[in-house]
Amino acid sequence: MKPRVQVKVSDLTRYLMCPRLVYFGAKEHHEGMAKGKERGFIESILLKELAFNLHKFYGERKEEDSEPEPESESETKTEEERAKRIIEDIVDGVERIYKEELKGVEKDYFEEVKEDFIRNLSMSTNMENDEWLEKVRTENELFELENAYGYEREHAMFSEKLSMSGSVDKLIRTEEEVIPCMIKTGKCPEYSVWKSDRVQLAAYAMLIEEELGFETTVKRGFVEYIRNAEFRETQIRRRDRALALQILKRVKRIKGGVFPDKGGNAPCDKCVFAERCETRKTLLSTLFGK
């Protein structure tokens, strides 16, 4: 009996970037950092860990709000130093938490990137450009939910029926609903959330529903665009679920050996498989006389 193809939720988002990322990823199992992109990879990890610890900034703001008197210059300076200490404390454990992902990174280089990250982020607390920190510490529904119910970090799921697995960044459980939340370190859309993020949330929703039972329906989720401190709620609609299932079927075929066309907006200049992709294309052209 032929084994069933196993798909990760992340394969669906890779497909939307370029179907060939799924093909070469399945063949070569490439994970981690692309050559020459180490700094961006490390910064993304640092940003993600900040997103897991935003409550530290939020709790600080709630304490400030209870003080009726305006802050003096010295109090503002103390606040800047406190914010920097929080950032330093959060990123301090990253090397241990992400040990596998950072394998091969020189310690001195990691420390250099980390120090630059702390310096650049902390600058937003002592200059006019303090929008990031202010947005982080502004009340919103996601923070209220996390404060009231907490969240489970990196909740892993698997569906035998769908042959799909995934690990959602945050899972919030209230008395009435279960809410998946994703952390994204890339750029933020002008409004709403990216199409790929809607598909990813829909896939997580189906995994959650299968895990918890037929009576559970996941109606909404959140995407945290942490680089811009934007926290977007989005409804999980029928069309998102339908598209996720459609892409799931295509990914299974690709992982089964079908070589797909390149995506219309494929990030070829940043792709770790660019050379192999061109070699494969040339080979096929020779075989079929094109």
In a domain? residue 282? no
Cβ atoms of residues 284 and 262 within 8 Å: no
Q: Are residues 153 and 232 in the same domain?
A: yes
Q: Exposed, middle or buried by CB within 10 Å (0-12, 13-18, 19+), for 107?
A: exposed
Q: How far apart are CA 199 and CA 242, in angstroms?
A: 9
- Same domain for 16 and 148, yes or no, is yes
> pLDDT category, 123, cuts 50, 70, 90?
low
Question: How far apart, in whole angstroms, are the C-alpha atoms of residue 238 and residue 198?
Answer: 11
Question: Into how many domains does the chain fold?
Answer: 2
184 and 197 in contact (C-beta within 8 Å)?
yes
Q: Are 47 and 90 in contact (CB under 8 A)?
A: no
Residue 176 shares a structural domain with residue 249: yes
- On the question of pLDDT at 166 being above 90, the answer is yes
Residues 91 and 170 in one domain: no
Mean pLDDT across the stretch 9-14? 96
Does a structural domain hold residue 281? Answer: no
CATH of the domain at 218: 3.90.320.10
pLDDT at 25 over 90: no
> Per residue in 209-256, pLDDT tens?
999 987 899 999 999 999 999 999 999 999 999 999 999 999 999 999
Q: What is the pLDDT of residue 283?
A: 54
Whether residues 189 and 50 share a domain: the answer is no
Residue 280 falls within a domain, yes or no? no
Cβ atoms of residues 57 and 79 within 8 Å:
no
Residue 85 is predicted with a pLDDT of: 85
Q: What is the pLDDT of residues 247-277, one digit of tens each?
A: 999 999 999 999 999 888 888 887 888 888 8
CB–CB of 185/44 below 8 Å?
Answer: yes
Clarify whether residues 23 and 107 are in a common domain: no
Among 132, 159, 190, give the residue marking a domain's end. Answer: 132
List, in order, residues 6 or more apart from 51 with CB less than 8 Å away.
Answer: 169, 183, 224, 226
Q: Please tell me the distance from the alpha carbon of residue 290 to that of residue 162, in angstroms, as a whole number.
A: 37
Residues 15 and 153 in one domain: yes
Axis crossing angle, helix 55-65 with helix 141-149, rounded to the nearest 10? 100
Q: Is 7 helix (H, G, I), strand (E, B) or coil?
A: strand
Domain contains 284: no
Q: Are residues 157 and 105 in the same domain?
A: no
On whether both 107 and 50 belong to a single domain, the answer is yes
The pTM assigned to this predicted structure is 0.86
Does one domain contain both 147 and 238? Answer: yes
Q: CA dist 16 to 24, 151, 194, 213, 267, Å?
A: 14, 28, 11, 29, 11
The per-type count for the chain, helices as H runs and strands as E runs, is: 12, 6
Three-class secondary structure of residue 154 per DSSP? strand
Claim to verify: residue 125 and residue 178 sit in the same structural domain: no
DSSP state of 269: G
Domain of residue 92, residue span: 38-132
Domain assignment of residue 183, yes or no: yes
In this structure, the answer to whether residues 193 and 152 fall within a common structural domain is: yes
Share of the chain above pLDDT 70, in %: 81
pLDDT tens digits, residue range 138-159?
Answer: 878 999 999 999 999 999 999 9
The answer to which of 44-53, 114-123, 183-192, 219-228 has the lowest mean pLDDT is 114-123
